[in-house]
């Protein structure tokens, strides 16, 4: 039940904010909004207030803000007549602003959540000393008696002062017996530990075989001021968005399998785990998912916001609109491919 509630909450907030971005900028620029929907068609229920139908639709994997004079997720081309209140009648910069407003709201949410987490909870930093923060159950380290709080002082004849010094030696010696010395409750302990073989992905995306013993460094929490927390919010959003871009590039270029993508079931699972870890964990997860949503929507794929931006730029260059029928066919094909992608990642979730 926790997983379901967390999933609905996270997805609902992200979809609402994204579509609200389109909605509010459309209203501010004089574009008539015909429908504000949480979920994809067909429409389930709702209420019309003024010129806008506010509704819930049956397919809960997104949402849309139906603007007059625009072909969007509803795939409805009826009523495009070139009226002053229609999307297509507005200047290119207005159209680009309205289309970009959805992803902008997603990035803004990520910045605010990361900033709030830093300000109210503190910034977590890895302690660079060789102090153990966590020992994995059943690992070589646990079997040797290493415990959180212990400080590794030497490996063989090599004195250890920094965490990186220790991991460098361990990583370079997979399935090797190393003599560790550490301080436990003020006493020096020395034991042989056989490293375990593991595979990691390096900065270039290549698989590297390393040695591990199953320990993590200590994490310290430091207080952060208001201004600094805002900077951290922007920095973390940028860094994580960059990682998302790199991951997508690897899939597109064939360096990584599409199986690495998580679908609705995987997202729901992570939402549930985050909720059980606490409210901060849930909101940080929501922020990460939000920047994912923002970035993915900016990809130059028809139906997505990035696809709309491509059409806007193309029409500005050609100085004439792309025929409505052409747009409709392209959008229908893109929508079919998007649903196929959703089916594939959902299948991956099930077999995972």
Residue written as token pair 């929508």:
335
CA-closest candidate to residue 60, choices 37, 82, 76: 37
Of 94 and 331, the one with more pLDDT: 94
Residue matched to tokens 């609109």? 321
CB atoms within 10 A of CB 135: 21
Interval 162-169 mean pLDDT: 94
Burial 102-120 (b: 16+ CB within 10 A, else e): bbbbbbbbbbbbbbbbbbe
Of 259, 249, 236, 286, the C-alpha closest to 346 is 259
Model-level pTM? 0.80
> Residue 297 gets which letter from DSSP?
H
Structural contact between residues 331 and 302, judged by C-beta atoms closer than 8 angstroms? yes
Q: Specify the pairing of strand 196-201 against strand 207-212.
A: antiparallel
Q: Residue 322 pLDDT > 90, yes or no?
A: no
Same domain, 198 and 287: no
Which pLDDT value is given to residue 202?
Answer: 67
The pLDDT of 242-269, averaged and rounded, is 82
34 is catalytic: no
Read off the CATH number of the domain in which 156 is found: 2.30.42.10
**Domain limits for position 308:** 2-31+90-121+257-351
Q: Whole-angstrom Cα distance, residue 338 to residue 267? A: 17
Number of separate domains in the chain: 2
Tell me the three state secondary structure of residue 285.
Answer: helix
pLDDT tens profile 172-198: 999 999 999 999 999 999 999 999 999
335 and 295 within one domain: yes
Tell me the Ramachandran region of residue 127: left when phi exceeds 0, alpha when psi lies from -120 to 50, beta otherwise.
beta
The C-alpha atoms of residue 298 and residue 296 are separated, in whole angstroms, by: 5
- DSSP for 233-262, written as a single string: HHHHHHHHHHHHHHHHHHHHTTSS-GGGS-
Do 111 and 133 sit in the same domain of this protein?
no
Domain end position, chosen among 173, 206, 221: 221
pLDDT for the residue 80: 57
Selecting among 19, 34, 73, 86, the annotated active-site residue is: 19
261, 116: one domain: yes
Same domain, 105 and 142: no
Is the residue at 192 inside a domain? yes
């Amino acid at each position: 039940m926790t997983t379901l509630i967390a999933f609905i909450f996270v997805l609902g907030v992200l979809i609402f904010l994204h579509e609200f971005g389109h909605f509010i900028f459309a209203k501010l620029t004089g574009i008539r909004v015909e429908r504000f929907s949480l979920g994809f068609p067909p429409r389930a229920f709702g209420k019309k207030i003024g010129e806008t139908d506010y509704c819930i639709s049956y397919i809960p994997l997104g949402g849309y803000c139906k603007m007059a004079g625009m072909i969007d997720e509803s795939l409805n081309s009826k009523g495009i007549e070139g009226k002053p209140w229609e999307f297509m009648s507005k200047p290119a910069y207005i159209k680009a602003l309205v289309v970009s407003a959805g992803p902008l709201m997603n990035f803004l949410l990520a910045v605010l959540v990361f900033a709030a987490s830093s300000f109210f909870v503190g910034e977590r930093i890895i302690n660079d000393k060789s102090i153990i923060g966590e020992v994995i159950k059943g690992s070589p380290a646990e079997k040797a008696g290493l415990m959180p709080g212990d400080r590794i002082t030497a490996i063989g004849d090599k004195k250890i002062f920094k965490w990186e010094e220790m991991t460098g030696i361990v990583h370079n010696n997979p399935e090797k017996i190393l003599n560790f010395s550490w301080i436990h409750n003020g006493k020096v302990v020395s034991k042989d530990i056989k490293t375990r073989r593991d595979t990691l992905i390096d900065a270039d995306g290549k698989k590297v075989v390393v040695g591990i013993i199953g320990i993590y460094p200590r994490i310290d929490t430091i207080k952060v001021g208001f201004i600094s927390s805002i900077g951290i919010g922007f920095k973390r959003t940028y860094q994580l968005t960059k990682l998302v871009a790199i991951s997508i590039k690897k899939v597109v270029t064939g360096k990584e399998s599409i199986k690495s993508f998580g679908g609705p079931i995987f997202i729901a699972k992570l939402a549930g785990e985050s909720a059980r870890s606490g409210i901060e964990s849930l909101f940080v997860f929501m922020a990460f998912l939000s920047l994912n949503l923002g970035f993915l929507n900016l990809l130059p794929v028809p139906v997505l916001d990035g696809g709309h931006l491509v059409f806007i730029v193309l029409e500005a260059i050609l100085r004439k609109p792309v025929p409505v029928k052409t747009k409709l066919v392209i959008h229908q094909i893109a929508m079919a491919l998007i649903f196929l992608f959703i089916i594939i990642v959902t299948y991956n979730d099930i077999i995972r």
